[in-house]
Each structure stands twice: as structure tokens, then as C-alpha cells.
Structure 1
Amino acid sequence: MVNFFKRLFKIGEAEANAVIDKMEDPIKLTEQGIKDMKGDLEKSLESLAQVKALAIRSKNDTEEFLSKAEDYEQKAMLILQKGQKNEMDGEEADRLAREALVKKEAANQQATRSKSDSEKFDTSVANLEKNVQEIKQNISKWENELKTLKARVKVSKATKNLNKQMAEIDSSSTVSMLERMKEKVQQEEALAEAYGDIANASKSIDEEIDKAADVSEANADADLAKLKEQLGMKSDKES
């Protein structure tokens, strides 16, 4: 699984790029891969614990067999001393001492095997610890990669939508629309100016007509004559 993700996400490899191009949902695949790696980590931790237990057991067995070998040697020495002191039959002492030495040798051989097993288990423990550490680092790495991937997906989607909207905008039709609007505004402005000219022309004619039809001066002359008549004064025309 770890090798799969190395191959899958290693930047620059054509095979990895080909696989990624075929992904329908790289985020879900990455999440599943991280989940699988966490499962591998759990199994590796269990294996590590079991191998460590075997290594500890082998070390304890080694110490126990060495202790037995030493004990048999001590017993063989005591038996020989008893035979020498005539505390027991000499031949019997030699026989028992020999049996004790045989057991000592067997214990030493067992201690040697246990020590060899212990060393092998220690090597296995070191390799498993290395693998566990590598899996942990990969999980952390791909979790960070996943965060980056999610962020890139959001940005790419937003950029794609924006570019799509921009692509759907027809620049020529937009310019044409603006030109039509500009022409319509110019027409409206010209029409407004024309109505203004018409209004001013109508106003001038009315002023001329009012001036021509102004009888205020004639009325004033008539009123003056009438007032002089009331006063008994002669008008300018009569004099």
C-alpha cells in the first residue's frame, strides 16, 4: 500500500500522471488510501508488539539457560568434591558429575540458540519500527497532501467557473450592444434638442404676435383724452 501511494503521487512520473488522469475522484481515492495506510499501521503495531514480546522472551530464556548451565557446573563441582572426600562413592560421583556437565552443555546450547533467536528478533523489531515510522510519516505526508489537494480543487473549480463565464461572454456582441446604446442616446439627445428648438421658435412667434397686438398705449391715449375732457381741458387734437 505504501509503495502504491509512492508510485501514485510521486511528481514527475508518467505512470503516476496517467493513473491520476483516469481518476474520477482523486480526493476520495486519497482518503481511502490514507484509511488503508492507517489499517496497515495498526497491523504493523500489532506485529511489532508480538515480535518485541518474542525478543523479550528470548532474552529471558537466554539468561535462564545460562543460569542453569552455571548451576549444573556448580553441582558437578560439589558432587566431585563429595566423591573426593569419600562422602559418596567415587564412581557414582563421577557418573552424576558427568550427567550434570552434560546438562550444563545442553543448557549452554539452548542459551546460544535463544541468544541467536533474540538477535534475530531484535533485527525484526528494528525493521518493524522503521516500517511503522515510515507509515506514520507517509500518513502525515498524505494527510497534508490531501489538504492541499482539497484547496487546489476548490481553487480550480472557482477558476473554471469564472473562465467559463468569461468564455460565454461574446465580446463582439457586447461591443455591438454598447454601440447601439450609444446611438440611441445620441438620437434621444438630438430629439430633445429639436423639441427645444421648436419650443423656442413657438415662443418667439407668440412674443411677436403679442407685441403686434399690444393696445396698452392706445388705451392710455384714450384715457388721457377722457380725463382732460372731464377737467374741461382741451385735448392736443382740439388745440
Structure 2
Amino acid sequence: MFRFFNRVRTVVSSELNALLNKAEDPGKMLDQFILDMEKDIADVEAAVAKQIANEKILSKQYAEAADLVAKREEQAIKALQSGDEDLARRVLEDKNKQQAQAQSLDLLVEEATKLSEELKEKLREMKDELRDMKMKKDSLKARSESAKARAKVNRTMSGVGTGAKAGFERMEEKVMHHEAQAEASEELRSANKSLDDELALLDRTSSVDDELAALKAKLEKK
């Protein structure tokens, strides 16, 4: 029985420590562990109840044996008073037998009572451990949820930051490319315009020269 309690305490410690190193969801694992612990305690409670019942049975047997010893004492006295010494002798022999039995039962009751108290104390310790575990479970679950939320936010923020920055830089390069294209187009348009202006001016100059020559010829004829 004591080995069983020690095993339970060992399982409590080892499972809790191993839990933190596992990849499973700590919240679900903690809930399952609490259920397993409660089942173990229920089994131990049944064992304690059985031991207490055994203690009561031994106590009852001891009381019956002690009463029989006292009864045989009275019967031996009556036998002597009636002059039947042989009967008194046989009654005393049975009294001694019952007294030895009562003494053995008394020792068994004492041991059973001591064991019952020890088992009840161990059971109280297990219940205290379970209560502490439940308190730690709530704290660990809250910490686990906070850690998962923080990690999720960090991953999201990291992804958003990287994607946004890359996209922003890409758009900036695209705008700069468009601006360069616009500047090149403007320069080409300006160059073409200047050439067209010179050609137009040349056309206008040629027209004026022709008109001037025509007037000169007209004057000469006159």
C-alpha cells in the first residue's frame, strides 16, 4: 500500500515535468492528468474504506472475545460456588484460551487502527496534491494560452511586416520605373518638338523669301 502511494507521488512529479517538454497541447494534457489523478484517488479511497472496515471487524471480534473472557470468569465463580470444581476448571481453561485470543485480536486492532490512520493521512496528502495541481493547472493553461497568442501575433506581425516591406519596395521601384519612362518620353517629345519647330520656321522663312522675290520681280516689270 505504501509503495502504491509512493508510486502515485512519483507519477505526479514525473508526469508534470514531462508534460512541459511534450509537443501536445498542455491544456488538454493537464485536464487528462487531473482526471487520471482523481481516478487514482477514488481507488485509494476505496482501499482506505476497506481497511477501516477491516479495523471495525477486528475491533468487534476483540470486544466479543473480551466479553467472553469476563463471562467465563463469572461462570467459573458460579461453578465453584455450586461445588463443581471440575466444571470450574474447564471454564477457566476456556477463559484462558479466549483471553489469549483477545490479546491477539487487541494487537491486530492496534495495528489496523495505526494503518488506517496512516492511510487516511496519505489520502489527505494526495488530495492536497490534487488541489495544488488544479491550481497550477489553471495557471499553466493561462500561461500556455498567452504564450500561444503571443507567438501567433509575432508570427503574424513578422509575416505582415516582411510582406508589406517587400511589397512597398516593389511598388517604389515600379513608381521610379514609371517616372523614368515619363522623363524619357518627355525628353523625346521635347526633342521632336524642337526639330518640328525648326522645320516649321524654315518653311515659314522659305515662304517669305519666295514672296519677297515675287514682289521684287513685280516692281522691276513696272
Normalised to the residue count of structure 2, the TM-score between the two structures is: 0.66
1:7 corresponds to:
14
2:37 corresponds to:
37
Letter in 1 for 2:21: D
The superposition leaves residues 75-94 of structure 1 with CA deviations (integer Å, 9 ceiling, x where unpaired) of 111111211xxxxxxxxx22
What secondary structure, in the 3-state scheme, does the structure 2 residue paired with 1:77 have? helix
Whichever structure has more helix as a proportion of its residues is 2
After superposition, where does 1:127-146 map in structure 2 within 5 Å?
Answer: 127-146=118-137
1:123 and 2:114 aligned: yes
Contact 1:62/1:111 (8 A) holds in 2 = yes
Letter in 2 for 1:173: K
Structure number with greater CO (CA < 8 Å, separation at least 6) is: 2
Contact 1:2/1:37 (8 A) holds in 2 = no
Aligned length: 168
2:80 corresponds to:
80
The superposition leaves residues 182-202 of structure 1 with CA deviations (integer Å, 9 ceiling, x where unpaired) of x99xx9xxxxxxxxxxxxxxx
The superposition leaves residues 20-47 of structure 1 with CA deviations (integer Å, 9 ceiling, x where unpaired) of 3234233322222211111111111112
Measure how far apart 1:96 and its partner are: 1.0
**CA distance 1:82–1:172, change in 2 (3 Å):** closer
After superposition, where does 1:150-161 map in structure 2 within 5 Å?
Answer: 150-161=141-152
Letter in 1 for 2:10: N
- Distance in 1 (alpha carbons) for counterparts of 2:33 and 2:138: 14
What secondary structure, in the 3-state scheme, does the structure 1 residue paired with 2:37 have? helix
1:209 corresponds to:
none
1:98 corresponds to:
89
Contact 1:69/1:107 (8 A) holds in 2 = yes
1:112 and 2:99 aligned: no
2:68 corresponds to:
68
Unaligned runs of 5+ in 1: 10-15, 84-92, 188-239
What secondary structure, in the 3-state scheme, does the structure 1 residue paired with 2:24 have? coil
Q: CA RMSD in A?
A: 2.8
- Distance in 2 (alpha carbons) for counterparts of 1:23 and 1:157: 13
Contact 2:26/2:141 (8 A) holds in 1 = no
**CA distance 1:137–1:31, change in 2 (3 Å):** same
Unaligned runs of 5+ in 2: 1-7, 180-222
Normalised to the residue count of structure 1, the TM-score between the two structures is: 0.62
After superposition, where does 1:46-65 map in structure 2 within 5 Å?
Answer: 46-65=46-65
Give me the identity figure in percent.
Answer: 22
The superposition leaves residues 63-113 of structure 1 with CA deviations (integer Å, 9 ceiling, x where unpaired) of 221111111111111111211xxxxxxxxx222111111111111111111
- Distance in 2 (alpha carbons) for counterparts of 1:125 and 1:2: 19
What secondary structure, in the 3-state scheme, does the structure 2 residue paired with 1:22 have? coil
Measure how far apart 1:159 and its partner are: 0.6
